């Protein structure tokens, strides 16, 4: 690990409680420790608050076009599953297309985050997520790096050993998925990558 990585992670850690994504327009970061049944990830979850321009009428189409332009293929439009789950084989990118929801990230000891239309969330492989509540109109656009077919696993202690192995094989995106170049991924995730 890089010498500054521990300090960086400490700065990004938050105590339990509710967190509102719209508190700042800058990307925000949350880290989660593994639990007995959710592996989570050393890489922080990245929240991009209010990234959609105000004059955009169709937020879902805006996210789909933006994600596809940066090689993250949109795969679904749907609310988030109401049970804890994670993807051990890929990172997941969400564009909140309508409404507002409270989402628990990181498993039962994680953090509740309020997301709303216009926010984007990059979930590292292995990080648990679960929709707790939402407005009736809430849905997100879900996207994955080109060529990835996500596997969904529920929080099950028996799956942990294999999940940890699978997560270690997931490569980092070369660019930030929202900018298509430098951004939160290149500035935060890349320095934390300890693989040779």
Question: Is position 24 within any domain?
Answer: yes
Q: Give the tens place of pLDDT for each residue, 31-44.
A: 999 999 999 999 99
Range of the domain at 60: 15-191
Q: Measure the CA–CA gap between 155 and 166, rounded to whole angstroms.
A: 15
Number of domains in the chain: 1
Compare 23 and 115 and report the one with higher pLDDT.
115
Half-sphere exposure of 114 (CA within 13 A, CB side): 10
Where do we find the tokens 């929240």?
Answer: 47
Q: Give the tens place of pLDDT for each residue, 156-173.
A: 999 999 999 999 999 999
Question: Is position 8 within any domain?
Answer: no
Q: In this predicted structure, what is the pLDDT of residue 194?
A: 61
The answer, yes or no, to whether residue 60 has pLDDT greater than 60, is yes
Alpha carbon separation from 39 to 110, 148, 160 (Å, rounded): 12, 20, 6
Strand partners, 98: 139
Q: Measure the CA–CA gap between 181 and 135, rounded to whole angstroms.
A: 33
DSSP letters for 98-148: ESEEEEEESSTTSEEEEEETT-EEEEPTT--EEEEEE-TT-EEEEEEETT-
Per-residue exposure over 103-138, b if at least 16 CB sit within 10 Å of its own CB, e if not: bbbbbeebbbbbbbbbbbbbbbbbbbbbbeebeeeb
Closest CA to 109 of 127, 125, 87: 127
CATH of the domain at 177: 2.60.120.10
The answer, yes or no, to whether residue 79 has pLDDT greater than 70, is yes
């Amino acid at each position: 690990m890089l010498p500054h990585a521990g300090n960086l992670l400490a700065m990004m850690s938050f105590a339990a409680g509710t967190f509102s994504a719209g508190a700042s327009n800058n990307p925000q970061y949350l880290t989660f420790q593994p639990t007995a049944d959710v592996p989570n990830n050393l890489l922080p979850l990245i929240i991009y608050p209010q990234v959609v321009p105000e004059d955009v009428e169709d937020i879902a189409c805006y996210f789909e076009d933006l994600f596809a332009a940066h090689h993250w293929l949109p795969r679904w439009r749907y609310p988030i599953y109401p049970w804890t789950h994670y993807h051990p084989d890929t990172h997941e990118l969400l564009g909140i297309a309508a409404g507002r929801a409270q989402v628990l990230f990181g498993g039962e000891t994680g953090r509740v985050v309020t997301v709303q239309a216009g926010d984007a969330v990059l979930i590292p492989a292995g990080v648990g997520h679960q929709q707790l509540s939402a407005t009736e109109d809430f849905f997100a656009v879900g996207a994955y790096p080109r060529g990835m077919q996500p596997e969904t696993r529920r929080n099950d202690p028996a799956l942990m050993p294999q999940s940890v192995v699978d997560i270690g094989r997931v490569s980092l995106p070369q660019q930030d998925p929202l900018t298509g170049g430098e951004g939160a991924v290149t500035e935060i995730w890349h320095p934390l990558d300890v693989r040779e």
